[in-house]
Amino acid sequence: MGNNKKVGVLGLGRMGAALAGALLGAGHDVVVWNRSPLKAGPLLDRGARLAAMPAEAAEADVVLSCLSTYDTQQPVLDELTPSVLVNLTSGTPEQARGVAKWASSRGIDYVDGVIMAVPQGIGTPGARILYGGSPTAFAAQRDVLEVLGEPVFLGEDAGLAALYDLALLGIMWSTMSGYLHALALVGTEGVAPERFTPMALSWLSAVGGFLPGIGAQVASGEYTTDVSALDINAAGLKLLVETSRERGISTAVPAPLAELFGRAAAAGHGAHAIASVIEEIR
Ligand SMILES: NC(=O)c1ccc[n+]([C@@H]2O[C@H](COP(=O)([O-])OP(=O)(O)OC[C@H]3O[C@@H](n4cnc5c(N)ncnc54)[C@H](OP(=O)(O)O)[C@@H]3O)[C@@H](O)[C@H]2O)c1
C-alpha cells in the first residue's frame, strides 16, 4: 500500500489495543506505548513496534491517545510534542478544551474524538467516532481515522465531541436502566428476559420514532399536543412507581422521573406534550 502512515498509539487497554489492531490490519506502520508493555505482545506479533517511552511513539505522522482518564493521560502527554494529536480518551468538554489549549501552546495540531463503539466494533461498519478541533488536521488524517470507524467532524470547538458523547451516553444509560427496571418488574411474575426482550425492542423503535417530533417542539418552544398530555404520563409514572413498590422492587429508576414529570405538570405544563419537561430540566 502506497499511502501508509506512521501512527503512534498511546494506551493499549481494551480500546487502545483495538485501535492499534485495526490500524495494523489496514497496513499502517504502528508504534505503540503502554504503561504495562506486556499488553503489546499480540500487536507486536502482528507487526507493531514497541516504544520504550511515550515520546518514541510520538515520532509519527499522527498520534492517537486512548488512556483511562484525562488525569492519567496528561502526565503522558507532557512527555511529547507530536505534530498531530488525536485524543480519544473520554472526558468532559472542559477537559478536552484544556488539552486543546495545552496542545496549541506547544504548536501541536489537535483533534479531540469520542468513540461511539465498543472495542470489538472498531474497524467495522457500525463504529462511529465523533471529532472536533483542527479541521486541517482532521482532513489530513481522515484516511487513518476512517480505518477505526465512520469519522464525523462536528466543528472547530474541541469540546463538542465530549459534549455529544455524554449526551448520547445519557440516552444509552437511561434506556438501559429503563429496560433493567422493566426486566425486574416482569420478572416478579416469572417473565423471562428472552420472552420480554422482543417486545421491548419493537417498543423502543416506536419510541425512537417520537424523537424528531419532540425535538421540533423543543426547538420551537410550542408544546401543544393532541396525542398525549403530560398529566396522563405523570399519572402513568406514578402507577409504575406504585406497582414497583408493591412488587418489592426498587423505585430508583422511575421515581425521579415521576418526580420530574409531576414538577413539570405542577409548573403549568399538564396539558402540554412531554417535550415541555425540558423547561423543568433546564
Ligand atoms: N471500552 C469501551 O467500550 C470504550 C468505548 C468508548 C470509549 N472508551 C474510552 O477509551 C478509553 C480507554 O478505555 P479502555 O476500555 O481501553 O480502558 P482500559 O482497558 O481500562 O485501559 C486503560 C488504559 O489506560 C492506561 N492507564 C491507566 N492508568 C494509567 C496511568 N496512571 N498511567 C498510564 N497509563 C494508564 C492503562 O494502562 P495499563 O495497561 O498499564 O493499565 C490502559 O492502557 C477511556 O477513556 C474510555 O472511556 C472506551
Q: Which atom of ligand 1 lies nearest, measured to the CA of 35?
A: 40
Q: Where are the domains of the chain?
A: 6-163, 188-281
For domain 6-163, the CATH superfamily is: NAD(P)-binding Rossmann-like Domain (3.40.50.720)
Q: What's the pLDDT tens digit per position in 25-42?
A: 999 999 999 999 999 999
Distance 68 CA to ligand 1 centre (A): 3
What does the alpha-carbon distance between residue 114 and residue 65 come to, in Å, rounded to a whole number? 11
Tell me the pTM.
0.94
Query: 63 near 33, Cβ under 8 Å?
Result: no
Give the CATH H-level superfamily of domain 188-281.
Answer: N-(1-d-carboxylethyl)-l-norvaline Dehydrogenase; domain 2 (1.10.1040.10)
**Block residue for cell numbers 413498590:** 245
Cα separation of 15 and 67, whole Å?
A: 9
Helix (H) or strand (E) holding 131: strand 128-133
- Cβ–ligand 1 distance for 76 under 6 Å, the answer yes
Residue nearest to atom 29 of ligand 1 (CA): 72
d(CA 77, ligand 1 centre) in Å: 15
Whole-number pLDDT of residue 213: 96
C-alpha cell at 73: 493521560
Which of 10, 15, 124, 168 best tests ligand 1's pocket when mutated (most atoms within 8 Å of CB)? Answer: 15
Each residue's pLDDT tens digit, 57-69: 999 999 999 999 9
Q: What is the pLDDT of residues 81-123, one digit of tens each?
A: 999 999 999 999 999 999 999 999 999 999 999 999 999 999 9
